[in-house]
């Protein structure tokens, strides 16, 4: 039962943070280089710009859901299992989602990375 709880929480965490990452990345790509923007317009402008982005707020909502799944998972399993397992599964789903939704060019190099990460996760899980 412990393993079921842990993996359900990890799966939920994975889905929620993929949705969150994609939305947040889309929002930041829309806003542009924050460091550049801060030099030009000041920190307050940057904060206002970021906090008024609808995509970002929705993304943060998903991240919050992910955060509670993380706490749930951490109460059942060690951080050295939960942390890498969820984050690297999320890395795989993110690569697919970034290609589809953000039109990022996920080339052979990036896919090779995804395969290594998947193997790493398999080892963590056993």
Maximum CA extent, the chain = 54
Owner of token pair 């923007």: 37
Please select the residue that binds another protein; options are 50, 57, 58, 65, rule is CB under 8 A.
50
CA distances from 41 to 12, 15, 24, 32, 116 (A): 39, 35, 21, 13, 42
109 contacts another protein (rule: CB under 8 A): yes
5 contacts another protein (rule: CB under 8 A): yes
- C-alpha 104/C-alpha 95 separation (Å) is 9
15 contacts another protein (rule: CB under 8 A): no
Residues that bind another protein (CB under 8 A): 2, 5, 21-22, 24-25, 28-37, 40-41, 45, 48-50, 52-53, 56, 68, 70-72, 74-76, 78-84, 87-88, 90-91, 94-95, 98-99, 102-107, 109-110, 112-117, 119-124, 126
């Amino acid at each position: 039962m412990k393993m079921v709880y842990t993996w359900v929480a990890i799966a939920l965490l994975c889905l929620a943070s993929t949705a969150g990452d994609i939305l947040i990345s889309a929002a930041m790509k829309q806003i542009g280089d924050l460091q550049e923007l801060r030099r030009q317009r000041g920190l307050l402008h940057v904060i206002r710009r970021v906090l008024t982005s609808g995509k970002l707020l929705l993304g943060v909502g998903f991240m919050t859901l992910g955060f509670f799944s993380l706490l749930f998972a951490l109460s059942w399993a060690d951080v050295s299992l939960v942390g890498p397992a969820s984050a690297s599964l999320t890395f795989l789903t993110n690569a697919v989602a970034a290609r589809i939704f953000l039109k990022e060019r996920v080339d052979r190099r990036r896919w090779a990375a995804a395969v290594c990460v998947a193997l790493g996760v398999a080892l963590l899980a056993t």
